[in-house]
Structure 1
């Protein structure tokens, strides 16, 4: 047992309210038996898509919508795709997901596309909990091992038999990712950051041969999994499938490691995850366990780790760019440029020292 409490949504941030009446009318026509919405609240975490709790007299639901100003980011925040991924995973027999309910592409309802899924009750470990978490180091270790093992299991899904191969084009995936994220950075750039340019060149010049493709989540970390309150090593559901595709599984591992802060990392890096708390695997131990459990060669994992840092830096730059343009008033975003710099410097250090 644990005294941790499930995620508690709070008052909706100013300017991010939902039209309750329009939403109710739409859901009444699309979801048989959908009861009256008794309350709407907002989950405060995350910098990207906005997530709300819809309470009814029966089940609780979660609504996901893009952030305000996101229309300028081509290819991002695709609610329809995330809903399709959940639906395909359900059809494939994968059970560690929320039940998808409905996708709405009609922007006249609440001003943007959105989807609704059933809420999975449980514990989500978020970075802000770190000072008060006080989980025993041994439990933290078992939990971090379970996270790695679950990623191995995700990569073991047969993408051909299930049809999940149709989610993407695995051939040339790494090159497209490097080129695509570099273009996104240039489109969102607000300041001259030479280290970001250096990383883009290094990634382009050191593209590895691709591994056989698997399903890849692309945003795999503690706060995207729901844990059983009675056994924190029991993962109930994996969340946030927006960037899921098929490709080299080490791209997933590299992204996970790019979030995986250690005790000696800086405060910005630690703001992503709880992985720096005592007991957690180190990045090297994460890589070793993944290699052992999956049977995959991770000797070239440095490239994938550096790409993960670069990609995260670009995402943060996009958010900061929206703030600079006045497209969002969320004051959490005002200092994000220092985060772009921190991740870029980590990438340059990793290249220089050949370590992650």
Structure 2
């Protein structure tokens, strides 16, 4: 007799199946199975399956969870709102704000075909011309998001654009403090410089908050089938998204496994090409771009320190987290270099 597979960490399949049978009767046919998708560095993502269908479930990480981070309701709401726009997102099926079933809030969405490109080797195999075209589609999808009028999709109250950069800088400073386990003088200096040089934001837009190549799914025809990982989305300064995309491009594959290497594949647009194409599509000039790239470095450093903190506690799932601690000093130096600190 074969043994029943153990539940993956963070899921109780018995409780989950009972809840789904109650809330979505008939959706599950046969036995319910689940596999943790490795590679994510924040919320936990599982592929659920039965004898006929597949779905995706998202929940916060185990253990140390930072205040205001890992917001299930935010992800669910924005993807539901964007369903019929030019920004591809999965169909949302169910959200549970309580903790009775899984010990944390969670939501269920449809499974969308496609791969998240993280590896230079894998992406380079499709050829330089296709890589270049995919890079342009990545910018086009971001521009499409930033062109959406939030009021037309029910997201007029999705954030507070006034004072957005001040609040973001304060928020990530607090996130860093909540996960700090060591002295990081370069990161403290970067925070001080960002505070001193705060720019004036352009007109607000829907902001993804972590827009990069491996947060989209791509099918065999190089079409972007879904934009994922909306936990930091809001109404705010759209240049924070382009600054983040530039930072990920400039540091692709550098240390710690936090920044995937796929964007180093031959043909992928360089940072200046990304910025100029974005400006062409949106009419937004990336003024003060150095500040936005440096802020992206600070923000990702705070994320990396949170991962490092959870790893030290033994509360991370999957491989590669042991190197997360390398990233904060690298990111701090990149941010300081971008701001040309003497």
- TM-score (ref. length: structure 2): 0.91
Q: Cα distance, 1:69 vs. partner?
A: 0.9
* In structure 1, distance between residues paired with 2:257 and 2:141: 23
Size of the aligned set, in residue pairs, is: 337
Is 1:181 matched with 2:175? no
1:216 to 195, 207, 210: 207
Q: How does 1:71-110 map to 2 (within 5 A)?
A: 71=65, 73-90=66-83, 93=85, 96-110=88-102
Give 2:36's match in structure 1, choosing from 27, 42, 58.
42
- Structure 2 CA distance for partners of 1:108 and 1:123, relative to 1, 3 Å: same
Q: Report whether the alignment pairs 1:66 with 2:60.
A: yes
Distance 1:181 1:48, change over 3 A: same
Q: 2:47 aligns with which of 35, 39, 53?
A: 53
The 1:14/1:317 distance shift into structure 2, 3 A limit, reads farther
Are the counterparts in 1 of residues 190 and 336 from structure 2 also a CA contact under 8 Å?
yes
Contact 2:124 2:265 in 1 (8 A): no
Matched with 2:182 is 191
By relative contact order (CA 8 Å, sep 6+), the higher-ranking structure is 2
SS in 1 for 2:82: helix
1:330 shift after superposition? 5.4
State which of 328, 331, 334 in structure 2 corresponds to 1:340: 328
**What is the deviation of 1:342?**
0.9
Q: For the residues of structure 1 that align with 2:319 and 2:126, how far apart are their CA atoms?
A: 31
In structure 1, runs of 5+ residues without a counterpart are 1-11
**Matched residue of 1:278: which SS?**
coil
Deviates more, 1:95-104 or 1:268-277: 268-277
TM-score w.r.t. the length of structure 1 is: 0.88
Paired position in structure 2 for 1:139: 130
Rounded Cα–Cα distance in structure 1 between residues aligned with 2:7 and 2:53: 26
The answer as to whether partners of 1:262 and 1:270 remain within 8 angstroms in 2 is: no
Q: Unmatched 5+ residue regions in structure 2?
A: none
Q: Which moved more, 1:197-206 or 1:16-25?
A: 16-25
Q: CA RMSD in A?
A: 2.3
The residue that corresponds to 1:240 in the other structure is 229
Report how far residue 352 of structure 1 moved: 1.5
